[in-house]
Structure 1
Amino acid sequence: MTGHDENGGAGRPRGRRSTLLKIAGLTMAGLLVLGVGAAGFVYWHLDHNIKSVDIDQALGDDRPAKAVATPSANASGSAEPLPTGSLNILVLGSDSRSGKENKALGGGSSSGARSDTAMVVHIDAGRKKATIVSIPRDTLVTRPSCPLKSGGATAVAYDSMFNSAYSVGGPVCAVKTVESITGIRMDHYLEIDFSGFAKLVNALGGVTVTTTQDIDDNDSHLHLAAGTHHLDGKQALALARTRHGIGDGSDLGRIGLQQQLVKALLDQISSTSLLTDPAKLYDVADAVTGSLTTDTGLDSLSELVSLGESLKGLSSTSVKTVMMPVVPAPSNPNRVLAKEPAASELWKSLG
C-alpha cells in the first residue's frame, strides 16, 4: 500500500478526514442554528419592546365611522397584499417623566406625562401623499367624558387645555378628544417619548435642519445661529421643545420647528441605506419600538413593518404640514381656540 487514499490524497487516512468533515458539518449546523436563534431573539426582543393600548375596546362604538376601505395592492401576486386605503393616525410626542433617560432629557419629576406634541397624520388613499395637522397643546376644547382603566369615567370638561386629555385619561382620552373636535375616526395611535425620539435621531445618524433665525432658549438648552445644522438626538429634541427663543414664545412657533423636524426625519430615513446595514437597521428598530406605545392594531413588529412597506412611496415632498387654524382665546391671551369655519373645513377635507 502506498498511503494514498482512493481519491488521491496522501498521508491522510480516510477515517480522520471523515471525522473532520463531520466536525465541520456539525460546526456549520451549529452556526446556522445560532443564526436562526439570534434572528428569532432579535424579532422577539423588538416585538416585545412595543407597548399597546386597546383603544377600540375602551371606546366601543361611540366614535366617528370608519373610512370606507379600498382594495389592497398586490403587485407580485404572491405575498399578502399591502393595504392602500386612507389612514388617520394620531401621533403624540410624550413629555414622559419616568425613567432616568427621560429625566436627563428634560422629563421632569418621576410621575406623570403630558402630550406636548400632537399631530393628526392623514394618509391619502393610495398612500402616496399625506397631510400632517398639528394641534396646539394650548387649544381650549370641550374634553369629553373618557373611560378610565380603574373603572368609571372622567367628567366632561369645558374650556380645557387640549393636552389635559392625555394627562387625565391617557391615550384613550387623547384619541376620544381628537375625534370629538375633528369628527374623524383615528385608525391608529402612535406615541413616542423623549428618550425614544432622541435615540431614533441618533440611530439615523442625526438630522439636518435649516433655521431662519437665531435660537437662544435657556429652557430647552438650545443655542443655534441661523443657518443649516446637523443635529444629534439631544439637539433635535431640544429643537422640538424650543419655543421661548423664537417668535412670540408661544406653542405656535414651536409647531413650525416640529413640522420641519418631521420632514428632516423623512429625508434622513430615505437617504439611509438601512437594508444594507443590519446593525443600523437594528439600532433604528430598537429605538423606535423601545419607546413606542400603539393601539392594538399596530402592536406587533409584523404590523408595523406592513405599515412601513405600504408607505414606501411617501416622500417628504409629498407630505403637507399645516396647523389647525386658531385664534387667541378671549378669556386668556396665552390660550387659543379653533378658528371657525376654517378648522372644520380642514377636518372635513381629510374625512
Structure 2
Amino acid sequence: MTGDDEDRRAGRRPRILKAVGLALAGTLVLGCAAAGWAYWHLNSNIKSVDINSALGDDRPAKPTPTPSASQETPLPTEALNILVLGSDSRSGKENQALGGGSSTGARSDTAMVVHIDAGRTTATVVSIPRDTLVTRPSCPLEGGGSTSAAYGAMFNSAYSVGGPVCAVKTVESITNVRMDHYVEIDFSGFAKLVDALGGVTVTTDEDIDDDDSHLALKAGTHHLNGKQALAFARTRHGIGDGSDLGRIGLQQKLVKALLEQISSTNLLTSPTQLYSVADAVTGSLTTDTGLDSLTELMSLGESLKGLSSDEVKTVTMPVVTAPSDPNRVVAEEPAASELWESLR
C-alpha cells in the first residue's frame, strides 16, 4: 500500500465518522420529536371538566389523609374514590355505529364508584343501577343557572340534565362520599381499548341472546373483541330477568377480566401496543381537572401497580323494587348506607 492510498483513507475516515455522527444525531432528533409529538397528542386527547370549581364547598368533606410510613414515598398512597361512568354518547360516527343512537344527547350507561383503599393494594368497585330512583339535587349548569331538584328521578337522568357535574353531585348526595376524581369513557373508546389490548376473555354461566345488543354467546368461556365486549357490557334483555341487575353482573365480570388482561400484557416491551392502548384511552376520556394530563394519569397508574385483580372486590349497591314502579329500584336501607359508610 502506498502512502497516497493511506492518506486518502485517512482523509475519508473523518468524513465517514462525521456522516455517521450526523445520522445518529438526526435519528436522535427525530426520535425525540416523535416522542414529543406522541406525548402532546395523547395529552391533548384528554377532555376535562372542572368539577371542584362547579360544586365549590357544597360537598361531603375530604377525609383526613393517613400519614405515610415513609415521607420519601414518591407516589401517593392515600385512599381514593373515583366515579367512573360509561357514556352512551351520540357524538361521532363511531359512537353512533356502536349503538349510540341519534346525534344528540348522552346518558350514563354504566356507573361505578371505585374505592381504592389506603396503600392502594385493594379496591372495591360499587355499581349503581341506572334504574335506581333517587332525589336528584339542583345542579349548576355550565352556561349559568342550575337544574331543578327532582324527587323519584332515575339515577342516570343526572348526567342527561347536568352532565358530569350533576352526575358527581348526585352520587355524593346519595352516598355522602366525596368523589376525588371523575372518569368517563364512551362507546368507541371502550371498544378501541379492548382491541388495543388484544381482546378480553370472559366466562358466562348462561347462554346470552340479546337482539338489542346484538350479542349471542353460548354459556362458557369466550375471547371477545372490542365490539363484542361493548355488547357484553350493554346486554340486559338476553340474560336473567332482563333487568339492569343482570347487566351489572356482566359488567363486573368484564371489569375483572380487563384487569387480568392488562396485568398479563407487558406493554413496556411493545411501544407500539403501549401507544395504541394510550391513544384508545385518552382519545375518548373525560376527567376532572385533577386527572386531565398524561403526567397525572401516569402517576395514578404507577400508584396502582400493586393492585391485582384478585384484590378488587365488585359489589352492587343494595336495592329493592320501587313501591311506585315494578320496573325501577330504590336503595335498600340500612344496607346501602352501611356500604357507603365503609368507603368513607
Superposed pair shares fold, TM > 0.5:
yes
* Structure 1 alignment gaps of length 5 or more: none
Shift of 1:4: 6.1
2:305 is the alignment partner of 1:312: yes
Distance 1:276 1:71, change over 3 A: farther
Q: CA RMSD in A?
A: 1.4
Name 1:59's counterpart in structure 2.
Answer: 55
Q: Give the distance between the partners of 1:26 and 1:320, measured in 2 at CA.
A: 55
Among 246, 260, 270, which residue is 1:253 paired with? 246
2:262 is the alignment partner of 1:266: no
Q: What does residue range 1-351 of structure 1 map to in structure 2 within 5 Å? A: 2-3=2-3, 10=6, 12-72=8-68, 81-351=74-344
Q: Give the distance between the partners of 1:327 and 1:219, measured in 2 at CA.
A: 25
Q: Give the distance between the partners of 1:115 and 1:100, measured in 2 at CA.
A: 19
Secondary structure of residue in 2 paired with 1:244? coil
The answer (yes or no) to whether the contact 1:131–1:319 under 8 Å persists in 2 is yes
The code of the aligned residue for 1:174 comes to A
The answer (yes or no) to whether the contact 1:72–1:81 under 8 Å persists in 2 is no
TM-score by length of 2: 0.97
What is the total number of aligned residue pairs between the two structures? 344
Q: Give the distance between the partners of 2:3 and 2:290, measured in 1 at CA.
A: 69
TM-score by length of 1: 0.96
For residues 86-140 of structure 1, give each alpha carbon's deviation from its aligned partner in whole angstroms, at most 9, with x where no partner exists: 0000000000101011011000000110001000000000001000000000000
Q: Give the distance between the partners of 1:296 and 1:96, measured in 2 at CA.
A: 20
Q: Give the distance between the partners of 1:313 and 1:70, measured in 2 at CA.
A: 18
Structure 1 ranges of 4+ moved more than 3 A: 10-13, 71-75
Secondary structure of residue in 1 paired with 2:18? helix
Shift of 1:346: 0.4
Q: Give the distance between the partners of 1:277 and 1:69, measured in 2 at CA.
A: 37
* Structure 2 alignment gaps of length 5 or more: none
The code of the aligned residue for 1:187 comes to D
Q: Give the distance between the partners of 2:261 and 2:111, measured in 1 at CA.
A: 22
Q: Give the distance between the partners of 1:2 and 1:280, measured in 2 at CA.
A: 55
The answer (yes or no) to whether the contact 1:183–1:347 under 8 Å persists in 2 is yes
The answer (yes or no) to whether the contact 1:207–1:264 under 8 Å persists in 2 is yes
Secondary structure of residue in 1 paired with 2:27? helix
The answer (yes or no) to whether the contact 1:200–1:288 under 8 Å persists in 2 is yes
Q: Give the distance between the partners of 2:4 and 2:317, measured in 1 at CA.
A: 86
The answer (yes or no) to whether the contact 1:71–1:84 under 8 Å persists in 2 is no
Shift of 1:69: 1.6
For residues 286-313 of structure 1, give each alpha carbon's deviation from its aligned partner in whole angstroms, at most 9, with x where no partner exists: 0010000000000000100000000011
Shift of 1:27: 1.3
The code of the aligned residue for 2:326 comes to P
Q: Give the distance between the partners of 1:138 and 1:93, measured in 2 at CA.
A: 15
